[in-house]
Amino acid sequence: MWEPVWRAFVLVLALWASAATARAQEVCEETIARYSVRRDGPDGFRVEAQFNRPVSRLDLFYHSPPGRPEGQAASIRNLRAFSARGREVAINYVGEGGWEVPGPDPAWRIAYRIQADHDAVDWTVGAPGKDEVATRFDRTFYFAAHAFFLADFDWPECKIEIVFNLPSGWFVTAPWSMRGNVAWTYGVQNFERNAFAMGLDTPRRAHTGGLDLEWLIDSRARAVEPRVLELMNAIPVAYTEFWERAPSRRLTAFFLRDARSDGGAFENSFTLVLPDPLAAIDQVSWSHTLGHELMHVWFGPEGIRGDAGGELSWFNEGFADYLTIKLMRRAGLISEDLMAQRVANIIRRYELGKRMSPDISLAAAGGDKLRNWQLIYGGGALVALLLDAELSMQHPEGFRDMMRSLAPISGSAFDLNSLTSQMNESTAGLARRTLAWVDARPSAGEIRARLARSGVEVSLYGPDEVYVGFAPCPALSCAPAFLAGPSPSPSN
Ligand SMILES: [Zn+2]
């Protein structure tokens, strides 16, 4: 019974992959920049770059942690720029990770040293964590590309090449296309918004869910390796099937260790930071974080495209979190009890969010994500849960079909209005009504009554005590069917 479905699915993937290749070729085969990377002493790298068009401004990402006001730029040393005729031209640091060529003669070539000294600073203060900057572990140097490669962020979607001239025995673990020691990608976005690593440690590889997966684990996190292996094999299959597409043909992951857990999603790579100390019970939380960060890769690097000022954070975070619960259960990766606890967490988070972020809509809350964390994650996931519960009463895959209609990884740009309009189209207006209902701050009793109609039973005491159970339901139309799917694989 599954055979034809599976074959159709493989066909869709193949078509999508060839369409993606065609698109990339249409865009621009011209190699706009060619970088070369070589080791420069025990603590650094030498980077040279040649450009196929004149450059007058180059950037890195910029964060300003205490003790390093210039952030990532502080690790760039001896930057020199050269004109088309090979004459050295001035290039000045202008602040916030930017350099400019002040004279009339633009740069066609640059050279610099990057000092791998990022671990001297705590990047969790005033910055998003070392996973989004750089660190060292074992015999590996890890970097976010936007902390390593100076680039013109306005380059068109052309080919960018990176030649790694590293000592023998060194591996490059990177999400770009790669042949031998040469990597390439299209567009500065995919070039800069990715993580990569260089060193003597060898990555693991797998092919699953239409993806070539590659990952590297810090030896201090080796205890998690069996579970990582299980999740990396199963989650992409579940996500690719749900979305009916893979986000890219390559996906690279890094597992680091630090004082506290963290995670960063890039264009087709992501990094999970596992907490220290790491107990067996922590698997419950980091497995979910892994699923959540992976889901962001399917949504797109910064969520669905076009999220100006965070007005779609409730969707990007809440829907990613909800789908992580639903699809990990479907894949048999979490038990029904854990699923129930996670659904209870959604409601608890929303109840706390109502108190911590009074008088603000979900869309407006995204303007200050840290302050309104509970409302954004809890409220967004509650909208997703309600939509899935209610759409599933009409059609078992109504929610999935609505999500597919958004095709977030195909490059559509959305704002709040166009996103909710698109969601409305396949839901006869239910999407916007549900968002408005959650924005109107329903009482815990009202949430309980509304979910009960779909078989999600909720018991509450105060704002922080929430229990969830699922009514027995013979049809596909109610929970846990819509959450876990009609025939979930047994949990193992
Ligand atoms: Zn997230």
Give 117: exposed, middle or buried? Use CB within 10 Å, 0-12, 13-18, 19+. middle
Q: Scanning the structure block, which residue is given the tokens 């599933």?
A: 392
Confidence check: pLDDT of 194 > 80: yes
Encode burial over 191-216: b for 16+ CB neighbours within 10 A, e otherwise: bbbbbbbbbebebeeeebbbbebbbb
Write out pLDDT tens, residues 429-449.
999 999 999 999 999 999 999
Quick one: what percent of the chain has pLDDT higher than 90? 69
Q: Which of 80-94, 203-217, 285-299, 307-321 has the highest mean pLDDT?
A: 80-94
Query: Given pLDDT bands bounded at 50, 70 and 90, which one contains residue 463?
Result: confident
How confident is the model at residue 259, as a pLDDT? 84
Give 318 Cα–ligand 1 centroid separation in angstroms: 8
Ligand 1 center–CA 310 separation, angstroms: 12
Nearest to 247 by CA among 271, 272, 267, 228: 267
**Residues 437-465, mean pLDDT to the nearest whole number:** 93
- DSSP conformational letter for 131: G
Ligand 1 centroid–CA 415 distance in Å is: 18
How many Å apart are CA 461 and CA 458, to the nearest integer?
10
Report the separation in Å between the CA atom of 293 and the middle of ligand 1, taken as the mean of its atom positions: 6
Q: What is the pLDDT of residue 55?
A: 97
Mean pLDDT of 358-385: 95
Cα 303 to ligand 1 centre (Å): 8
- Spatial separation of the C-alpha atoms in residues 330 and 333, rounded to whole Å: 8
Q: What is the pLDDT of residue 490?
A: 41
From residue 249, alpha-carbon distances to 90, 236, 413 in Å are 41, 11, 22
**CA of residue 323 to ligand 1 center, whole Å:** 12
**Do residues 278 and 164 touch, judged by C-beta distance below 8 A?**
no
CA dihedral of residues 144, 148, 150, 156 (deg, nearest 10): -40
Domains and CATH numbers, the chain: 30-200 (2.60.40.3650), 302-484 (1.10.390)
CA 132 to ligand 1 centroid distance, Å: 14
Measured in Å, residue 316 CA sits from the centre of ligand 1 at: 7
49: nearest Cα among 135, 200, 155: 155
Say how many Å lie between the CA of residue 317 and the centre of ligand 1. 5
How far, in Å, from the CA of 217 to the mean position of ligand 1? Answer: 21
Q: What is the mean pLDDT of the chain?
A: 88
Q: Average of pLDDT values for 220-224?
A: 89
Model confidence at 294, pLDDT cuts 50, 70, 90, reads confident
Residue 308, pLDDT score: 66
How far is it, in rounded angstroms, from Cα 292 to Cα 383?
Answer: 17
Please determine, for residue 212, whether its predicted confidence score (pLDDT) is greater than 70. Answer: yes
Number of C-beta neighbours around residue 465 at 10 A? 11
pLDDT at 339 over 50: yes
Which pLDDT score is estimated for 20? 40
More confident of the two residues 304 and 194:
194
> Which range, of 155-159, 245-249, 418-422, averages the lowest pLDDT?
245-249
Q: Of residues 464 and 356, which shows the higher confidence score?
A: 356
Quote the ligand 1 centre to 265 CA distance (angstroms). 8
Tokens of 207: 């092919």
pLDDT confidence of residue 443: 95
What's the rounded Cα separation, in Å, for the pair 160 and 190?
10
Give the angle 330-350-322 at the CA atoms, nearest 5°: 20
- Which neighbouring-strand residues pair with 269? 252
pLDDT at 183: 98
Whether residue 262 has pLDDT greater than 90: no
Distance CA 241, CA 150 (A): 37
The pLDDT assigned to 128 comes to 86
Q: What separation in Å is there between the alpha carbon of 296 and the centre of ligand 1? A: 7
Strand 250-258 versus strand 269-275 pairing type: parallel
pLDDT value, residue 261: 82
* Separation between Cα atoms, residue 363 and residue 126, nearest integer Å: 24
Q: Which residue did the predictor score with more confidence, 283 or 209?
A: 283
pTM above 0.85, yes or no: no
pLDDT at 488 over 70: no
C-alpha 325 to ligand 1 mean position (Å) = 13
Is the pLDDT assigned to residue 307 strictly greater than 70? no
* pLDDT(457) > 80: yes
Q: Looking up tokens 């040279």, which residue turns up?
A: 48
The arithmetic mean of pLDDT across residues 224-234, rounded, is: 90
Predicted confidence (pLDDT) at residue 10 exceeds the cutoff of 60: no
Alpha-carbon span 332 to 488, nearest angstrom: 6
Q: 269: which residues sit within 8 A by CB, 6+ positions away?
A: 174, 175, 194, 195, 196, 251, 252, 253, 254, 297
How many angstroms does the Cα of residue 292 sit away from the middle of ligand 1? Answer: 6
Distance, CA of 460 to CA of 302 (rounded, Å): 34
Pick the most confident of 140-149, 224-233, 241-250, 294-303: 140-149
